[in-house]
Amino acid sequence: MLPQELIRLKREGQPLPASEIKAFIQGIADDRISDAQIGAFTMAVFLNGMSREEVVALTTATRDSGHVMQWDALNLPGPIVDKHSTGGVGDLVSLVLGPWVAACGAFVPMISGRGLGHTGGTLDKLESIPGYDPYPAPERFGQVVKSTGVAIIGQTGNLAPADKRIYGVRDVTATVESIPLITASILGKKLASGLDALVMDVKVGSGAFMPSEEKSHELAKSIASVATQAGTPTTALLTDMSQPLANCAGNAVEIVETLALLRGERADSRVMQVTRELAVEMLIAGKLVANRDESLSRLDKALTSGAAAEIFARMVRELGGPSDFMERSNDYLAKAAVIKPVYPTASGTVQRIDTRAVGMSVVELGGGRLRNDANIDHSVGFSDIVELGTKVDGEQPLAFVHARTEAEAERAAEQLRSAMTIGDGEATLDVLLQHTYRGEAL
């Protein structure tokens, strides 16, 4: 079928054969399909949607448009599992989760990304660590996964290459907010990692990627079903992003918090509650445990014994970072020139946080990118951010700002004050874990 005929069918709301979707996506990877045709196709999908069968076909075609990792030759003595998040502010889950699950016997080849918009990027955080190489050769990547149990790296050019072109066109044609296209984009890259199981973290709230709670539910259900029907059993959790997940937002400041969490500190914090739930699902999905209680027991042992922290340290060392990073992280991580408390203008209870605004303030400080090719400052951000429901006054700051100059610190402080609603009475707290969707195979 000619590309224009496939576009016409979707424009008219007709079903697309799986074989034609596959040929179209391969044509994108091979540069036989033009950007204009990609734009017309994505707009037709945006307007008319896709059936579940079509989204499965689009996802598998995207996955197969480049290299699909094969792990059989390494004879790994455990399941290959991974997690993906729609992103947020203070979301350092991957940094703790990967080593923690690996310490329980799983193998985690985690392909992560850089910051996008107001959301922080796992790779940006890891690059706070001097020498850490997020783009090792494929052979080295496999070796680190086998020897360490986890390797967190960036996407290479030959992994789901069709998605890179499609996403670039969607970004400039107002077709980003399409559940079928989002599903295929996320899963095309993740399933190319050759996983035995996947757990998805879909955010809800003022810092979430999706514009509404309804859309977040729709995306979670789509991802769980499509991935499972594509051959990778997947569970999707809906978790709260109505406030920064950790008590910090930035790059180096989040690495500091990661190390504290891996040492077993603040075990009942919000970020650890979410990380623990995702870890439970990963161990169950990987068939390493029979039930939730067994999973929690194994995770607790891996954390309190120091095994999870040791695996993180080994991953850093194997990917080029300092061999003594866990012991001397304070000597290696960049520190901002200006660190000062941000006090509220009035006393009261923190009743609402515009989490997206907090993330954008970190970007403006230099901790994120306004352009794809921009450098970032790993030292800036916020630490000790208060949670919803906290009583604040002239002695209890909203957070500490980390900035390059006094002027930038003051501007960020004003932005943080504006992002927080202070009032009388108690705050209404959202449920941290809202729902779990489990995919069903065809």
Entry pTM: 0.93
- CATH number of the domain bearing residue 376: 3.90.1170.30
Residues noted as catalytic:
82-85, 122, 170, 185, 189-190
Tokens of 265: 């500190």
Residue 285 resides in a domain:
yes
> Within this chain, do residues 399 and 308 fall inside the same structural domain, yes or no?
no
Q: Which of 333, 310, 281, 321 is nearest to 150 (CA)?
A: 310
Residue 176 resides in a domain:
no
Q: State the Cα torsion 283-286-292-293 to the nearest 10°.
A: -70
Q: How far apart are the first and last CA of the chain?
A: 27
Contact 202, 237 (CB under 8 A): yes
Q: Which of 271, 301, 328 is the last residue of a domain?
A: 328
> Within this chain, do residues 245 and 392 fall inside the same structural domain, yes or no?
no
The rounded distance, in Å, linking the Cα atoms of 196 and 152 is 17
Instruction: Put the strands of the sheet holding 399-403 in their side by side order.
Output: 249-250, 381-383, 399-403, 338-342
> Within this chain, do residues 293 and 355 fall inside the same structural domain, yes or no?
no
> Within this chain, do residues 356 and 274 fall inside the same structural domain, yes or no?
no
Residue 23 resides in a domain:
no
Residue 186 resides in a domain:
no
> Within this chain, do residues 299 and 365 fall inside the same structural domain, yes or no?
no
| pLDDT confidence of residue 155 | 78
Residue 252 resides in a domain:
yes
> Within this chain, do residues 270 and 362 fall inside the same structural domain, yes or no?
no
The rounded distance, in Å, linking the Cα atoms of 209 and 215 is 10
- The residue range of the domain holding 389 is 338-423
| pLDDT confidence of residue 337 | 98
Instruction: Please identify which residue in the block is written with the tokens 């340290």.
Output: 313
| pLDDT confidence of residue 303 | 97
> Within this chain, do residues 127 and 245 fall inside the same structural domain, yes or no?
yes
> Within this chain, do residues 97 and 234 fall inside the same structural domain, yes or no?
yes
Q: Which amino acid is at 412?
A: A
The rounded distance, in Å, linking the Cα atoms of 347 and 113 is 39
Q: Which of 296, 328, 360 is the last residue of a domain?
A: 328
Residue 253 resides in a domain:
yes
> Within this chain, do residues 315 and 362 fall inside the same structural domain, yes or no?
no
Q: How many domains does the chain have?
A: 2
HEC profile for the chain? CCHHHHHHHHHCCCCCCHHHHHHHHHHHHCCCCCHHHHHHHHHHHHHHCCCHHHHHHHHHHHHCCCCCCCCHHHCCCCCEEEEEECCCCCCCHHHHHHHHHHCCCCEEEEEECCCECCECCHHHHHCCCCCCCCCCCHHHHHHHHHHHCEEEEECCCCCCHHHHHHHHHHHHCCCCCCHHHHHHHHHHHHHCCCCCEEEEEEEECCCCCCCCHHHHHHHHHHHHHHHHHCCCCEEEEEEECCCCCCCCEECHHHHHHHHHHHCCCCCCCHHHHHHHHHHHHHHHHCCCCCCHHHHHHHHHHHHHCCHHHHHHHHHHHHCCCCCCHHHHHHHHCCCCCEEEEECCCCCEEEEEECHHHHHHHHHHHHHCCCCCCCCCCCCCEEECCCCCCCEECCCCCCEEEEECCHHHHHHHHHHHHHHEEEECCCCCCCCCEEEEEECCCC
> Within this chain, do residues 295 and 347 fall inside the same structural domain, yes or no?
no
- CATH number of the domain bearing residue 247: 3.40.1030.10
Residue 3 resides in a domain:
no
> Within this chain, do residues 321 and 347 fall inside the same structural domain, yes or no?
no
| Rg, Å, the chain Cα set | 22
Tokens of 311: 């695996």
Residue 20 resides in a domain:
no
Per-residue pLDDT of the chain (442 residues; tens, 9 = 90+): 899 999 999 999 999 999 999 999 999 999 999 999 999 999 999 999 999 999 999 999 999 999 999 999 999 999 999 999 988 899 999 999 999 999 999 999 998 887 777 887 899 999 999 999 999 988 899 999 999 999 999 877 788 999 989 988 997 898 988 999 999 999 999 999 999 999 999 999 989 888 789 999 999 999 999 999 999 999 999 999 999 999 999 999 999 999 999 999 988 899 999 999 999 999 999 999 999 999 999 999 999 999 999 999 999 999 999 999 999 999 999 999 999 999 999 999 999 999 999 999 999 999 987 666 678 999 999 999 999 999 999 899 999 999 999 999 999 999 999 999 999 988 888 888 888 999 876 4
Instruction: Please identify which residue in the block is written with the tokens 């037709």.
Output: 44
> Within this chain, do residues 303 and 355 fall inside the same structural domain, yes or no?
no
Instruction: Please identify which residue in the block is written with the tokens 């496999």.
Output: 142
The rounded distance, in Å, linking the Cα atoms of 81 and 299 is 15
Report CA torsion sign: 166, 170, 171, 177: negative
